[in-house]
Chain A
Amino acid sequence: MASSNHLPARLFTKQSQALIYNYKEAAVQRMLDFDNVSQRDTPSVAGLIHPGSDGGLYKAFFGFKELVIPVYNSVSEACQQCPNADVFLNFASHRSAYQSSLLALREPSIRTVVIIAEGVPENEARSLIAIAKKAGKVIIGPATVGGIQAGSFKIGNTAGTIDNIMACKLYRSGSVGFVSKSGGLSNEMYNVLSRCTDGIYEGIAIGGDAFPGSTLTDHALRFEKLPEVKMIVVLGELGGWDEYGIVDALKKGEITKPICAWVSGTVAKIFPTEVQFGHAGAKSGGETESADAKNNSLRDAGAIVPTSFEDFSNVIAATYAKLQSKGLVKPVEEPTPPELPLDFKTAVKAGKVRKPTSIISTICDDRGDELSYAGVPISEVCKEQYCLGDVIGLLWFKRKLPPYASKFFEMCLKLVADHGPAVSGAHNTIVAARAGKDLVSSLVSGLLTIGPRFGGAIDDSARVFQDAVDRGLSPDQFVEGMKSKGRRIPGIGHLIKSATDSDKRVIILKEYAYTHFTSTKYLEYALEVEKYTLQKANNLILNVDGCIGVLFLDLLHSSGLFTQQEIKEIIDIGYLNGFFIVGRTVGLIGHALDQKRNKQGLYRHQFDDILYDVKLGNGPE
């Protein structure tokens, strides 16, 4: 019932290269690390296939150096570009492993297809087996970790981390051919074999499915043909008839090398009913499929079979010792594998390295379970109904501010949220939106207008008023001083509003401050300055920027929450324009959306609104 297709004996060499489908980053790096300690000249990963990607390059380490590996978006393209790669390592899911494996089997350059996925339908596996047989190709898997040829080629995650590869000396060739169903046990056995023999020449995990692409027998027969393999070790499992293929091969004399075999699952006989073990192909049931029957048949056919798994390493050691005493195995030359640099993440985990950080953040922490603003978890921000002003307090000023302050912030935002379509920022946003630009482009077109003449005077007015008060200047000294330097006073003056047509926004702000602030010293000073400037012109009023600027000075100084040093920093850095930017963003977005909603076409300024003053014949010669 078991059959063998007589696979090619040699699947891998020290030059073998793989294409990896649906690559897993850790697997790629582990293959390359293995290459390095095995002193391969070329990386074992030729290319990666990521269906639906735009291609490009993938970076990974090859020893100390970084390597770029091409990424392809189709199997055929990868095979064309990497004709030397003859192993196709398929990490596709159980749903799609069939299609991608089929494509690979059709490529002339691919000789071996490894299918990692567990749960591939049996019929799909059988279909691939039939196709591979016709094409003379080899399938390893499904439901496997792959296999390894010590010192030459490692499939994916086989043999785990580099520590394990070093511990089991898998970076150099031994003389045992090992095959089993289980990937986990393979790794365990590499460890055992490294202790009781000179290690493996090659190890293959065929996978736990009922119909593996290649069988225990297939690989045992391959090992028979590989001259470097001096003894064969097989770890079978209850369920199926694969081990009887080895029994047949032994009886026919097709296997002549010493073969140590153990079939696990002897426990099944004590189970009251049939049990599905962890592997799909491992089911207790029929007598001939039982571990005992298979162990007995193998023993009868001439395999060396222990009495239990615990005894397995003893019979392996004894068999190896016999080969040694006959001079059939030569002592291994122990190469010194190059030291592999520690992976940074691993080193950090192990506390072996330190590294200066490039960026500091003191306001927001997105690590862990929950985002926090200035140490306040986002759930608390929502549960305690923090208002937008509170959130600004946390993220800009790094503290929870009293309600009157947060409310003042919000009031500022509301008052500056918009000022009609004609102001320069809104106009720019409208022009950009009508030119067909997207929302964010239209928005920033308006935002970038904010500056000393439009909306950006809050910080500057705070600075000059702070300076004037600090230096104890009287309002007239201050105004005249500015004038003599040829500077306008930021926060004073308005294009349209005047003493007789006062700005309602300023009135609201003043009223709020008189009611809630503990001191309005800076406002009083600014109003004295306004009295003086109004004598010069009717429109030299304290405008909304100026009013916000001085009220912030009052808030910062009188709240008792900020040190003098902090206040100086806030003014110097220029926090306060942020209020205009945030507030006006709301209005600018509104204007952009409004233009788009109204399907307004490209804006072009009227000719008759432009004075053309270009002289004829004045161009370059």
Chain B
Amino acid sequence: MARKKLREYSTKYIIKNNFPLLCNGSKLNLKMIQVSPNTPTLLELSKTIDNIWVNNSKLVVKPDMLFGKRGKNGLVLLNATLEEADNFIKEKINKPVEIGGKSGLVTHFIVEPFVPHTEEYYLSITAQRESNRISFSNCGGMEIEENWDKVSTLDIPYGETIDKVDLHTLIDSSVLNREYVIEFIRNIYKLFNDLSFHFIEMNPFTLDHEGKPYPLDARGEVDECAAFKCGGRWLVDGEPVQFPQPFGRSLYPEETYVNELDEKTGASLKLTLLNPTGRIWAMVAGGGASVIYADTVADMGYGHELGNYGEYSGDPNEEDTHKYACTIISLATRNPDSKPRALLIGGGIANFTDVAATFKGIIRAIKEYHQDIIKANLSLFVRRGGPNYQSGLQHMREIGHKLHIPIKVFGPEVNMTSIVAMAIQHINNPIANPVPIHHSKPTSLTMSPTINGVH
């Protein structure tokens, strides 16, 4: 639940679709087709009635994968015939490319009419805490970053209507068809607000043969939390809009699975796989604490061994916690190689989450995977506080003892991240039972009585 990036096609589609309703019936003359491995080919699509225009228009084809600098990387086909466009896509689809050090397959393309133009304007709107910022430049296009000093900005206090704002200072008289452009920006601004966009950028937009503003490129981000209000208008080709992953980041099945769990519950469950062969794995309660555990692993020089970033919070029920824990333990125990591994079951001192209740789900997962845990030489390091933590920790100790799983259990008497040092020592130790070291603080000295390593 946060800001989500949209594909260019989705951004344009949502803008075009909502334009007449929000902008006094005026229309945006946008035409575009999306081609992906899930759609027919461009040639096949060209035969449907809505897409007749591709047959008698010169075309532009661009990959639509949330990465920029497409022109600079030679990935844009301009002024092409239908056949050329179709061949271009067939040649490139599902082929790997490398952009900015990230590589991945190109799967989605956007096909649009080629609009000959001379003007290239830059427009963006960004949501800020107390205002929306409109940025405009008459030097838009590929070189915008080099020309950033020519971009002027105007902050409009949130809640103020755009109709009362004079945009003439922002769009000066050098802009062709200035009033059309101002009207266009007003309309985009209204859409931005009404559809809970967080960011819209058109770089560039130009003027079509009628002199009307026409976005050549568009990027958009929406606030997913507003889905319950705007979801019905975030439709693309009649379907709810999809939020693609950042380029170069295809999801592992486990990540997709946790995403699905997360969407179904009011609680929060997150998993990002960093290194499938890593030796340190994390299942940490709390959005804030989980970041600090990952930080600490990296600070101690073991970032390369960190298998995942993981977080559960908001009092997930036993069933969800169980599924989440199973996912992480199955990842952490995959391909055993007898070298020691560690799982951090960490967390701060909860305010209201019942620790014993959430641990129930984790303990069930430990039971189910206990053979794999032993086979993978995985040690468990637990640290948690909060309501009912004593009995939660006691159950953890008991399960470790009963199943002969090496598990070390601590409460608020030790620092939150003290188990990270123990985990690191464990993975460096060929004998799988490290003596916990006292890291950094004299206050963490009370740890020994609670140790429950199996010897």
Q: How far is the CA of A264 from the CA of B158 in the complex (A)?
A: 30
Please tell me which one of the listed residues A121, A126, A158, A311 contacts residue B129 in the complex, with CB atoms under 8 A apart.
Answer: A126
Using Cβ atoms and an 8 Å threshold, which residues of chain A touch B2?
210, 276, 280-281, 283
A309 pairs with B295, CB closer than 8 A = yes
Other than A122-B198, A309-B296, give 13 A-B pairs with Cβ distance below 8 A: A95-B228, A121-B223, A121-B229, A126-B158, A129-B158, A160-B387, A184-B288, A266-B298, A267-B303, A271-B274, A273-B247, A278-B313, A309-B299
The 8 A CB mask of A307-323 against B (1 = contact, 0 = none) is 11111011000000000
A184 pairs with B272, CB closer than 8 A = no
Using Cβ atoms and an 8 Å threshold, which residues of chain B touch A81?
none
CB distance from A342 to the nearest CB of B (A): 14
B349 pairs with A210, CB closer than 8 A = no
Q: How far is the CA of A609 from the CA of B128 in the complex (A)?
A: 88
Q: Count how many pairs of residues, one from A and one from B, have CB atoms less than 8 Å apart in the complex.
A: 212
CB distance from B126 to the nearest CB of A (A): 10
B-facing residues in A282-341 (Cβ within 8 Å): 282-283, 291, 307-311, 313-314
Q: How far is the CA of A348 from the CA of B272 in the complex (A)?
A: 41
The 8 A CB mask of B111-143 against A (1 = contact, 0 = none) is 000000000000000011110000000000000
- Contact of B276 with A by CB under 8 A: no
Q: Which of A187-195, A398-406, A429-437, A503-511 contacts B (4 or more CB under 8 A)?
A: A187-195
Using Cβ atoms and an 8 Å threshold, which residues of chain A touch B439?
310
Q: How far is the CA of A282 from the CA of B169 in the complex (A)?
A: 35
Using Cβ atoms and an 8 Å threshold, which residues of chain A touch B10?
none
B288 pairs with A264, CB closer than 8 A = yes
A238 pairs with B289, CB closer than 8 A = no
Using Cβ atoms and an 8 Å threshold, which residues of chain A touch B289?
182, 184-185, 188
A118 pairs with B288, CB closer than 8 A = no
B295 pairs with A272, CB closer than 8 A = no
A160 pairs with B1, CB closer than 8 A = no
B-facing residues in A82-125 (Cβ within 8 Å): 94-95, 118-124
- Contact of A157 with B by CB under 8 A: yes
- Contact of A474 with B by CB under 8 A: no
Q: How far is the CA of A235 from the CA of B348 in the complex (A)?
A: 14
CB distance from B22 to the nearest CB of A (A): 15
A-facing residues in B284-343 (Cβ within 8 Å): 285-292, 294-299, 303-304, 306, 309, 311, 313-314
Subset of 10 A-B contacts with CB under 8 Å: A119-B1, A160-B349, A181-B288, A184-B347, A184-B348, A195-B443, A237-B291, A264-B292, A273-B246, A310-B440
Q: Which among A3, A26, A119, A281 has the greatest number of chain B C-beta atoms within 10 A?
A: A119
A211 pairs with B129, CB closer than 8 A = yes
Chain A residues proximal to chain B, CB less than 8 Å? 1-3, 26-27, 94-95, 118-124, 126-127, 129-131, 133, 145, 157-161, 164, 167, 180-185, 187-188, 190-192, 195-196, 208, 210-211, 215, 235, 237-238, 264-267, 270-283, 291, 307-311, 313-314, 349
Q: How far is the CA of A129 from the CA of B306 in the complex (A)?
A: 39
Using Cβ atoms and an 8 Å threshold, which residues of chain B touch A271?
272, 274, 309
Q: Which of B43-51, B52-60, B170-178, B409-417 contacts A (4 or more CB under 8 A)?
A: B409-417
A118 pairs with B314, CB closer than 8 A = yes
Q: How far is the CA of A310 from the CA of B424 in the complex (A)?
A: 15
A192 pairs with B127, CB closer than 8 A = no
Using Cβ atoms and an 8 Å threshold, which residues of chain A touch B391?
349
Using Cβ atoms and an 8 Å threshold, which residues of chain A touch B228?
94-95
Q: How far is the CA of A94 from the CA of B314 in the complex (A)?
A: 13
A123 pairs with B387, CB closer than 8 A = no
**CB nearest to A196 among chain B residues:** B443
- Contact of B204 with A by CB under 8 A: no
- Contact of B75 with A by CB under 8 A: no
Q: How far is the CA of A570 from the CA of B4 in the complex (A)?
A: 72
B270 pairs with A277, CB closer than 8 A = yes
Q: Which 5 pairs show the lowest CB-CB distances between chains A and B?
A: A182-B288, A278-B287, A188-B348, A184-B286, A121-B226
B291 pairs with A267, CB closer than 8 A = yes
B385 pairs with A191, CB closer than 8 A = yes
A-facing residues in B241-264 (Cβ within 8 Å): 246-249
Q: How far is the CA of A554 from the CA of B443 in the complex (A)?
A: 79
CB distance from A581 to the nearest CB of B (A): 44
Please tell me which one of the listed residues B287, B412, B441 contacts residue A167 in the complex, with CB atoms under 8 A apart.
Answer: B412
A208 pairs with B102, CB closer than 8 A = no
A191 pairs with B225, CB closer than 8 A = no
Please tell me which one of the listed residues B157, B295, B311, B443 contacts residue A278 in the complex, with CB atoms under 8 A apart.
Answer: B311
CB distance from B419 to the nearest CB of A (A): 12
Given contacts A3-B129, A119-B1, A278-B313, contact A188 B226 (CB under 8 A): no
B292 pairs with A185, CB closer than 8 A = yes
**CB nearest to B353 among chain A residues:** A184
Q: How far is the CA of A483 from the CA of B130 in the complex (A)?
A: 98
Using Cβ atoms and an 8 Å threshold, which residues of chain A touch B349?
160, 164, 184, 187-188, 190-191
B412 pairs with A191, CB closer than 8 A = yes
A127 pairs with B159, CB closer than 8 A = yes
Q: How far is the CA of A235 from the CA of B385 in the complex (A)?
A: 19
Q: How far is the CA of A121 from the CA of B248 in the complex (A)?
A: 29
Using Cβ atoms and an 8 Å threshold, which residues of chain B touch A267?
291, 294-295, 297-298, 303, 306, 309
**CB nearest to A159 among chain B residues:** B351
**CB nearest to A182 among chain B residues:** B288
- Contact of B429 with A by CB under 8 A: no
**CB nearest to A145 among chain B residues:** B351
Using Cβ atoms and an 8 Å threshold, which residues of chain B touch A157?
351-352
B288 pairs with A129, CB closer than 8 A = no
B296 pairs with A145, CB closer than 8 A = no
Using Cβ atoms and an 8 Å threshold, which residues of chain A touch B352?
26-27, 145, 157, 160
- Contact of B268 with A by CB under 8 A: yes
Q: How far is the CA of A183 from the CA of B287 in the complex (A)?
A: 9
**CB nearest to B102 among chain A residues:** A273
Q: How far is the CA of A76 from the CA of B298 in the complex (A)?
A: 52
- Contact of B193 with A by CB under 8 A: yes
The 8 A CB mask of B90-112 against A (1 = contact, 0 = none) is 00000000000010000000000
- Contact of B154 with A by CB under 8 A: no
B158 pairs with A313, CB closer than 8 A = no
A3 pairs with B130, CB closer than 8 A = yes
- Contact of B34 with A by CB under 8 A: no
Q: How far is the CA of A240 from the CA of B284 in the complex (A)?
A: 23
Using Cβ atoms and an 8 Å threshold, which residues of chain B touch A126?
127, 129-130, 158-159
- Contact of B350 with A by CB under 8 A: yes
CB distance from B197 to the nearest CB of A (A): 9
Q: How far is the CA of A121 from the CA of B298 in the complex (A)?
A: 33
CB distance from B320 to the nearest CB of A (A): 15
Given contacts A164-B386, A264-B288, A282-B287, contact A184 B298 (CB under 8 A): no
Please tell me which one of the listed residues B159, B288, B295, B309 contacts residue A308 in the complex, with CB atoms under 8 A apart.
Answer: B295
**CB nearest to A160 among chain B residues:** B351
Using Cβ atoms and an 8 Å threshold, which residues of chain A touch B70?
none
- Contact of B3 with A by CB under 8 A: yes
- Contact of B203 with A by CB under 8 A: no
Using Cβ atoms and an 8 Å threshold, which residues of chain A touch B1?
118-119, 280
Q: How far is the CA of A270 from the CA of B297 in the complex (A)?
A: 11
**CB nearest to A270 among chain B residues:** B303
A185 pairs with B286, CB closer than 8 A = yes
- Contact of B196 with A by CB under 8 A: yes
Q: How far is the CA of A123 from the CA of B289 in the complex (A)?
A: 27
CB distance from A143 to the nearest CB of B (A): 9
CB distance from A218 to the nearest CB of B (A): 11
Q: How far is the CA of A131 from the CA of B30 in the complex (A)?
A: 37
CB distance from A356 to the nearest CB of B (A): 25
Q: How far is the CA of A349 from the CA of B196 in the complex (A)?
A: 47
B102 pairs with A272, CB closer than 8 A = yes
Using Cβ atoms and an 8 Å threshold, which residues of chain B touch A27?
352
**CB nearest to A281 among chain B residues:** B2
Q: How far is the CA of A159 from the CA of B347 in the complex (A)?
A: 14
